[in-house]
Structure 1
Amino acid sequence: MSLTERDQKVIWHPYTQMKNALPHIPVVRGEGVYLFDEDGKKYIDAVSSWWVNIHGHAHPHIAKKVAEQLSVLEHVIFAGFTHEPAVQLAERLLELLPGDQEKVFYTDNGSTSVEVALKMCLQYWSNTGHKGRTRIIAFKEAYHGDTFGAMSVSGRSIFTDPFKSMLFEVEFIDLPTEKNIEQLKSKINYLSNEVACFIFEPMVLGAGGMLMYEAEYLDQLIETCQKHGILTIADEVMTGFGRTGTYFACETLHSKPDIFCLSKGLTGGTMPLGVTTCNQKIFDAFLSDDKLKTLYHGHSFTANPVACAASLASLDILLSAETLPNIQRIKRKNEAFATQIKEHPKVRDVRQKGTILVLEWETGNDTSYLSSLRNQLYLYFLERGIILRPLGNTIYILPPYIISDEDLDYIYQTIQQALNDI
């Protein structure tokens, strides 16, 4: 049997209706921005394998550091023990993050980093004697993960529908604009004595449709929260490590969040790792002779040394002389293509932020995640050697930073061709 046939017998894939799923492409190796299947066909990984692979596949520097770490220490329990890769990674992240972040808590992925952030905030108020502050503010279109806490603070959708009776109540607000910002601030003021925290994806909402909004309005929401002591959580799982043009999206804010959630690009796409960082104020609320004020959360693979080594290697590349210029190069090319394509009659909307380019197809009223256009677009680009993963009628490009101008131009040309063909 082929690898695809063997897969069909034993694998249940994520976000996939298995009854009528398209055959899964058997990838046998990766190199740079390319993935190769078992027949030798080459694909441009234009979505960085679900937004994680920021430096390209099989990067030799990351591979070398991972191999070195595997021969020294593959894992150790992180309760009562520590190790050099975890300490060094925490030191380097805290230097790089905007604001006054002081402590790093390790988890396994983006969803669990959000779970920890929510628990930190809720227990912060409990530990400080304000047990009535339990409400959480989030955006209606948000996506923060698939565990129950992360689903609760995500917008209600087909992703969360089967579990809606089990999700805790959240105060959802619209994305801020010039027209509604004062109304949103008034709502926060009104609820302030009950609210524990405000969680947000800064400037770009990922799985909710790659929606974008302006930093100045997010700044005003954070300032309003801070005026009332409401804690703020920046979910930079997708936007972190250069995606929006700066190392972190929150660098463009005047007001800095209390907590950051990081994952995806953290290890350069090598393996799972999650991070939740916080400022000293939050950490201090857990320091007590009362053991009930402990943050009782952990994972078997917390701060895995190999994952930390991969992250350190990824940071080496991110901070090298080549990466920021590459990010700016991709940003400029995306801007130029967005300007070129925006007037096309089949383009409903085009959005761009840093290395992220988003295009909404004009499909009348069929704009849902399950839009009939989705599979048509997916297959169209696959046949032409480009991996895109449409969100309904929305396609987006999030390439590794090493992608060449030639490959970007080929993707743009194929999008133009698709607009004419579909």
Structure 2
Amino acid sequence: MIWGSNTGVGKTLVSAGIAASVLSDPQPSHVLYVKPVQTGFPRDSDSRFVYLKVSDLLRREGLKLVCMTLYAWNEAVSPHLAVEREGMVVSDSVLRENWRGTVWRLVETAGGIASPGPSGSLQCDLYRPFRLPVVLVGDGRLGGITATISAYESMQLRGYDIVAIVLEDHGLLNEVSLLSNLRNRVPVLALPPVPEDPLDNLIDWFGKSSKVFSSLQEILLSHHTTRIKRLHEMRKKGGDIFWWPFTQHELVTDENVTVIDSRCGENFAIHKVCSNKDMLLPQFDACASWWTQGPDAIMQIELAREMGYSAARFGHVMFPENVYEPSLRCAELLLEGVGQGWASRVFFSDNGSTAVEIALKMAFRKVLHDRGILDSENVDTRGIEIKVLALNGSYHGDTLGAMEAQAPTSYTGFLQQPWYSGKGLFLNPPTVFIFNGIWTLSVPDCLKPDVLEQDDMWFNSYNDLLSKSRDSSTIAKCYFSYISNQLLQFSASNHTTFIGALIIEPVIHGAGGMHMIDPLFQRILVRECRNYKVPVIFDEVFSGFWRLGRESAAELLDCVPDIACFGKLMTGGIIPLAATLATEAVFNAFKGDSKLMALLHGHSYSAHAMGCAAAAKSMQWFKDPSTNINIDKRKNLKELWDFKLVHQISSLPAVKRVVALGTLCAIELHAKGIDLGYASLGASTLVQQLREDGVFMRPLGNVIYLMCGPCTSPLFCNHQLSKVFGRISQIP
């Protein structure tokens, strides 16, 4: 792709020179020259110029050259102004269509790298999904060093590979300075001065420039060959040296390994060989890269810019007793957003599991403080044991302490964690799902009342589940009785053991299989723990920041915690960062005259400036209706799925249940034979089929899921969901 550091730097001359060099080979390749956008047409036509000049240079018929202009306007102004004045609106997606070419495909942009396209989008953003190798035509004139370096850095910021810089020699030796200042990272070539009257003298100029264009051709071929070779090697090399998480390597084949060249918004660009041709194809990241991704392509650039600025300004600053703008702004936004109305303190860490461990430490101290144990002199603490109250099926992280706060699962078994003892009282929660188009409540036997009314078990919508009228229902009384009895029995039988925290994943159990918990049950559970003065922890590492349609899942439960953990989507998936929010009462439990009373927990990279900057930008972006087309300003709710299609999927014979909320749509398939849970491979064939359809998935046993970002358009989401519907419909 031929880009210019400014207008009038000779992009079209360079395009013609490369085409001529390729076609002058003894066995020339085909060349396709594309000018996507042209203004001043037909008087100015770069595609016509390239064709005529190359024909004049080579002086032979039957050239393997095709030159085409995709969209053109008469007035010689910026394309977005031409659209405004002459009409013919061209969207970014339409402009990016029909780009399949031959081996040599030269795409010449219009104006400088940041010149607007027809829609007003900057061209460097408009063409980013292709990420074609870049030939940057620099500026050899006075002031050209600044323009060229600025263009180079702007392209790099967006993830382009600049293969070479070529510029006209104006006698200022700009190429020497550029090569030095760019630390020889990219070749810089100088072309002879262009004649003042190029219409009469360009044949001679091209002759003098032939060695430069020949060198440029070799550089481009070398880059392409090296790139393709590396892409072919990556699959095997990755399998030979990586130890992938949550992966049984004995089950991994070459077909399972996806080689990712880049990412742009919701899509990976993956390497595939189709009919012996190397292709980079878009593939939707349906896992949201382990639930972290939320930005669209434009926001991805915004985050890169914020992080680059923070890295250049701060590098890394140790956090204790220091304050700097990114950390302060991030903390302010957390307290104004997900912590609004209850939290007053922010403790930074680096991942969700660690945020949970910090939350447990906070809660345990609060319990000790409230029970007066810390105030007692010479108290014997040897017999005291603290446990958590949690739900079966929940998951709170991989670290050893976080595992102790969850019930036995595949993740905590002896093979994984021989030290595991499960320091908790684990309750069986009721779950909710869509089956045959109806929201259905599934209640464990230990919770069922003698009489269940139909209104207690089936619902028309998720909003009906959230209705306050359910607080006085028969099922609510059943929940209250079960929870109260469990707490009373535990207290009566344990005199030196007490519950130090309630920890729950609000609304959705993520890694446990994408099970939706009845919000009424969790709300009653929180209220009862308040009565017993048990600190409440919400593990919102998965659910926070609009993942479930609200900024915080606490809004769906209509209750708040004492402590909450956040991560994943907080930074838009671009860098690790986590935060544990707490009330002032929890914070005060750590005050004292001795440093030993403080929370002795921390990380070298706590509150890293780049992470805090990315989080601040992400939180603002997700929340601001002016930047997000999916937010309902009246309800403050984001829903992405077409529920008519969701209900159709829930009625398919192969489907056991569906959960759809906010950015998540999860589908559990019926097990064939014994249900092995997380170890099941029943969805493997479907997953491979969907990857071929351009949807990247990793199942949780028999559960497949689609997860989009809060900024993803519903149209895009439902296009992906239609692919899933089509494949599942074919399962016998």
If the length of structure 2 is used for normalisation, what is the TM-score?
Answer: 0.55
Q: Output aligned runs, 1:21-100, within 5 Å.
A: 21-23=252-254, 24-38=257-271, 39-56=279-296, 59-96=300-337, 97-100=339-342
**Equivalent residues in 2 for 1:249-288 (5 A)?**
249-288=553-592
Alignment of 1:177-326 (within 5 A): 178=475, 179-191=478-490, 194-322=498-626, 325-326=629-630
Which residue, 346, 349, 353 being the options, matches 1:107?
A: 349
Letter in 1 for 2:602: G
Q: Is the Cα–Cα contact under 8 Å of residues 122 and 133 in structure 1 kept in the other structure? A: no
Q: Does 1:148 align with 2:456?
A: no
| Distance change (3 Å), C-alpha of 1:406 and 1:256 | closer
% same residue? 29
* Matched-pair contact (CA < 8 Å) for 1:138–1:173: yes
Shift of 1:125: 2.8
Rounded Cα–Cα distance in structure 2 between residues aligned with 1:421 and 1:336: 19
What displacement does 1:63 show?
1.2
| Partner residue of 1:409 out of 715, 718, 724 | 718
Equivalent residues in 2 for 1:318-357, closer than 5 Å: 318-322=622-626, 325-326=629-630, 331=639, 333-357=641-665
SS of alignment partner, residue 656 of structure 2: strand
Query: What letter matches 1:166 in structure 2?
Result: Y
Gaps of 5+ in 1: none
1:300-336 Cα offsets, whole Å, 9 max, x none, are 1111011000101111211221566515697253423
In structure 1, give the amino acid aligned to 2:594.
D
Larger mean CA deviation between 258-267 and 39-48 belongs to 39-48
Q: Is the 8 A contact 1:334 1:355 kept in 2?
A: no
Shift of 1:42: 1.1
CA distance in 2, matches of 1:215, 1:325: 27
- For residues 109-155 of structure 1, the C-alpha deviation after alignment (integer angstroms, 9 at most, x for no partner) is 00000010011111223345346461211111011100011111223
> How many equivalent pairs are there?
422
What SS does the aligned partner of 1:187 have? helix
Query: Quick check: 1:105–1:276 contact (8 Å CA) kept in 2?
Result: yes
Q: Which has the higher contact order (CA 8 A, sep 6+)?
A: 1
Q: Is 2:367–2:534's contact at 8 Å kept on the other side of the alignment?
A: no
Q: Which of 673, 678, 683 is the matching residue for 1:374?
A: 683
Question: Which residue of structure 1 aligns with residue 387 of structure 2?
Answer: 135
Distance 2:482 2:369 in 1: 31
Give, in whole Å, the separation in 1 of the partners of 2:407 and 2:296: 31
**Secondary structure in structure 2 of the residue aligned to 1:261:** strand
Structure-2 separation of matches of 1:344 and 1:136: 40
What residue in structure 2 maps to residue 172 of structure 1?
426
CA separation in 2, counterparts of 1:324 and 1:253? Answer: 24
Going from structure 1 to structure 2, the CA distance change for 1:99 and 1:336 (only over 3 Å counts) comes to farther
Work out the CA distance in 2 between the residues paired with 1:261 and 1:330: 21
Secondary structure of the structure 2 residue equivalent to 1:2: helix
Q: Distance between the aligned counterparts of 2:333 and 2:545, measured in 1?
A: 13
Does the residue aligned with 1:416 lie in a helix, a strand or coil?
helix
Aligned equivalents of 1:228, 1:356: Cα separation in 2? 34
1:203 touches 1:215 (CA, 8 Å); kept in 2?
yes
Farther off after superposition, 410-419 or 380-389:
410-419
Deviations 1:228-273 (A, max 9, x none): 1100000000100001111001013333110010000010111100
Is the 8 Å Cα contact of residues 204 and 211 (structure 1) preserved in structure 2? yes
Code of the residue aligned with 1:348 in structure 2: it is: K
**Higher alpha-carbon deviation: 336-345 or 146-155:** 336-345
Aligned to 1:419: 728
Q: Measured at CA, do residues 415 and 259 of structure 1 come closer, stay the same or move farther in structure 2, by a change above 3 Å?
A: same
Query: Which one-letter code corresponds to 1:137 in the other structure?
Result: L
Q: Which amino acid aligns with 1:36?
A: A
Q: Equivalent residue of 2:313, what SS?
A: coil
Q: How much does 1:190 deviate? A: 3.6
Aligned-pair CA distance for 1:95: 1.1
Query: Post-superposition shift, 1:406?
Result: 4.0
Code of the aligned partner of 1:170: G
Q: Which moved more, 1:357-366 or 1:46-55?
A: 357-366
Q: Point out the more displaced range, 128-137 or 246-255.
A: 128-137
User: SS at 1:415's partner residue?
Assistant: helix
Q: Which one-letter code corresponds to 1:397 in the other structure?
A: L
DSSP-derived class of the 2:619 partner = helix
Which of 265-274 and 118-127 deviates more? 118-127
